Amino acid sequence: MIQPRSSLRVTFYAILIGVAPAFAQDVTPEHEASAPRPVSTAIQAKPITANVTVTDAQLLSAAQDQDDWRLHGRTYDNQRFSPLSQINGANVKKLVPVSIIQTGVANSFEATPIVVNGVMYIVTPSDHVQAYDAVSGEILWVYNPILKYSDLCCGPEARGVAVAYGKVFVAQLDGVVIALDARTGSLVWKSDPAIAPPTDTVHYSFTGAPQVYDGMVLVGSSGAEYPTRGFVVALDASTGKLIWQFHTTAAPGEPGGDTWSGDSWKTGGGSVWNTPAVDPKNGLISFGVGNPNPDIVGDDRLGNNAYTDSILTLHVKDGTLAWWYKEVAHDLWDYDAAGPVILLDAKDAGGKMVPAAAEAGKEGQLFIVNRLTGTLLHKSPSFVLESANKWTAPSSTPGEPHYPSASGGGEWSPPAFSPLTRAIYVMGSNVAWSYASQRINPQRPPVGMWIGGDMHPLLDGKAAHTIEPSGTLSAINVDTGKIGWQYHSDFPMVGGVLATAGDLVFAGEMNGNFDAFAAKSGAKLWHFNLGSGVNAPPITYRVKGVQYVAVAAGGNGANSNDELLAMRGHPQSGDVVAIFALAGDH
C-alpha cells in the first residue's frame, strides 16, 4: 500500500553537495601551487529554530524520552529498543513512506540517524553531514568535507554521528574528529593529529559513530588491515583535545602483554569498528575489538593476541583497563568482534540476574558475559552455517572454503534487545571464503595493506564444499543463549535491527526489502522495497504525537557484497533515507 503522491515528500539536493570532492591530497602538486585549494563548506538551507542543545542529563535519561533518538543505540546501553507502540503488530501493514530523502551520495550507506526535537542528523558515505526535518525530509543544512588521504580497506563507510552540547560530532575517514554547530553545520573545531591520535592518518581511519559522555567524545580507530596499533580515545567535547588513549594491543608489562611474540604488538591491529556502550552507574565503557594484523598468518605474532577479537571494557573516566573477554584466540580467519556491545541484565547459570554485556561476533555466536567481571554467562549456538574446517589454520595454498568467513557471522551490524521478549535479535551472514597464508619476508617488509596472504569470497556457490550466500535474523534468549526463531534471507543480512514495544522487530535485506517481524514468533508482517540494499540500522521516534520509522538504503559494498548484488541483477548502491508512518496518522 502506497500513500498518495501528494502526501509523499521527496527531497533531492545533489547540487548542494557538488561543491567539493570527497578527498583532497595532503600536498598540492607543484604546478598547481598557485591554485586555491578546496575547503570544507557548510551550507544552510533553512534556519533551525528547534532546541537541539542536548545535555548530559538528557543523554542519561534517553530511555525515558519517547520522542527522540538521541544516541547511536538510542540509549547508552546500545539496546536499540524503543518503548513506542503506536505502530504494532495489528496495524503495521498500514505503514507507508511519508518522505524519501535522496542524499546525492550513492555508496555503501550504513548510518544510524540521530533525531533531536524533530531534526534528523545523518552522515553519508565519505562523511557528508546533513540535517533534515525529521517529518517532511526538508533539507536544513549540509556540511561537505575535504578529507585528507587515507588508506581504506573496506570503502568510505560512515556509521553515524553523535549530537550533544549544541554540536554534531563526526569521526572522519581521514582520522580526524570534527565538531559542527548543530544549528548551522559550521565547523566549531577539528582534532589535530599532531597532538591527538592518530598521528599517522594514512593507515588509520574512523568509520564508527562516536559516543558522547560526560563532556567527552569517545571513538575507536579502524585500519587493522594495515600494520597499525588500534586504539580508543576520549577527546574533550569543547576543544577536541586528547583526554586519554587506550591501545587495543597489549604491550609488554600490561595485562595480556605476554600474548604477543617479539614486537608484534606494535603493529598488531585491533580495529574498533563500532560505538562503545556506556555503563554510567559503574563508570565503564564496553566495545568489541577486531582482528589482529597480519590477519591470516600468525607465525610472527605467536600467542592469543590480547585484546583483539575481544569484548573490552575500560573505566570511562581515565581509560584504564577493567577486563576483557577473548572470543577468538590467535585469530587466523578475520573473526572480528566487529559489532557493538549491548549492555543488559541476564541470568547466570544459577538463575540469578546479573549485569551483563553481549556481542555477536563474526565467528558466528552470541557471547554474553558478566558486565563487571567479563566472566562468560552464555554462548549461543552458531546463528550461521559452519564448515567442518572452521578452525583449521589456512595453509600456503587455498584449501576447502571456510564459513563463517571474513564477511560472515555477525559482521558490524548492530543487534537489538527487547526486555519484553528477553531476546537479542542478531543478523547473520553466510558466505564461504577461500584462504591462503603467506609468511612475511624480513628482507622485504610489507608496505600498505598486509593481511598475511590472500582471502576472497566465493559468491557463485559452485565451488566444491561451498555454499550459496545467504543470511539469517535470529532471536536469541539472553537468559539461556538458545535460539528461539530464525528468519532466512537469500542474501547475507547486514545492517542492523530495531525492536519496539509494539511487538515488532524491524530489519532490512540486501535485496532492498525493509521488513517488520513479530518479535515473539518471527513472522514477517510487512515489507517495503526501497530499490537498493537496506543495510543500515532502522530507528523510530515521535513528532507531535506521531510515531515514525526511518532507515537508510544504499547497499553495502564491503567484502564484495556489491559484486554479489551485481551478479544477481540488483542495484549495487543507493542514497536514500526513507521515513515511514501509519497511513492516516501523517
Q: Among candidates 488, 526, 528, 532, which has minimal Cα distance to 510?
A: 532
- Cα gap 239→259, rounded to integer Å: 37
Q: Catalytic residue numbers?
A: 334
CA 355 to chain centre: 24
Q: Among candidates 259, 336, 321, which has minimal Cα distance to 285?
A: 321
Calculate the alpha carbon distances from 231 to 244, 288, 289, 486 in Å.
10, 12, 9, 35
- Cα gap 434→41, rounded to integer Å: 44
- Cα gap 146→25, rounded to integer Å: 9
Contacts of 464 (CB under 8 A, 6+ apart): 400
C-alpha cell, 140 = 536544513
* SS3 (DSSP) at 126: helix
C-alpha cell, 320 = 584504564
Detail the DSSP E strand segments found in 432-530: 432-437, 453-458, 470-477, 483-489, 497-500, 504-508, 513-518, 524-529
β-strand pairing of 497-500 with 81-82:
parallel
- Cα gap 474→452, rounded to integer Å: 33
- Cα gap 491→508, rounded to integer Å: 11
496: left (phi over 0), alpha (psi -120 to 50) or beta: left
The secondary structure of 60-116 as a DSSP string is: HTGGG-SS-B-STTSSTT---EE---SS-TTTGGGEEEEEEEEEEEEE---PBPEEE
* SS3 (DSSP) at 558: helix
- Cα gap 38→41, rounded to integer Å: 9
Q: Are 319 and 263 in contact (CB under 8 A)?
A: no
Q: Which residues pair with 437 in a beta bridge?
A: 453
Q: What are phi and psi of 208, to 5 degrees?
A: -80, 160
* SS3 (DSSP) at 231: strand
